Amino acid sequence: MYGLALGLVVVVAVVAVLLVASARSGNRYERIARCRAGHLFTSTVVPGASLKAVRLGRVRFQRCPVGNHWTLVGWVDASTLTPEELSQAHAWHDVRVP
C-alpha cells in the first residue's frame, strides 16, 4: 500500500507541475489525444475552428503524428495518464494549425 500511495503522490505532483507549466506558457488549448492504435500526442485545440480534422462529436478523424496514419482520435484526461505516458504525449505534437 505504501508503494501505491507514493506512486499516486508522484503522479499528482507531475500533473500539478504540468498544469502550472502549461498555464505559464499560454498553452491552454493544448490537449492530449490518443489515436485508435494507442498513440499519445499533443494536439492544439481552437474552439469552433478546425481545418485539419473532421469532427465527429467527441472524436476526430485526423492524421496521427506518431504512427503517421489517418485515424480516429479522442481526447485523453491528462490526470489519468502515467508520467511515462505524459512524457510520450508531450514528445509528439501534430501540426500547429487548428
Locate all alpha helices (DSSP H) within 1-98, ordered by sequence.
Answer: 2-24, 83-91
Interface stretch with Zn ion, choices 12-20, 28-36, 52-60, 84-92 (CB under 5 A): 28-36
Is residue 89 at the binding interface for Zn ion, with CB under 5 A as the rule? Answer: no
Least distance to Zn ion, CB of residue 87, Å: 17
Distance CA 79, CA 15 (A): 6
Count of helices and strands (H, E) across the chain: 2, 5
Minimum CB–partner distance for residue 74 and Zn ion (Å): 12
Q: Which chain residues interact with Zn ion by CB under 5 A?
A: 35, 37, 39, 64, 66-67
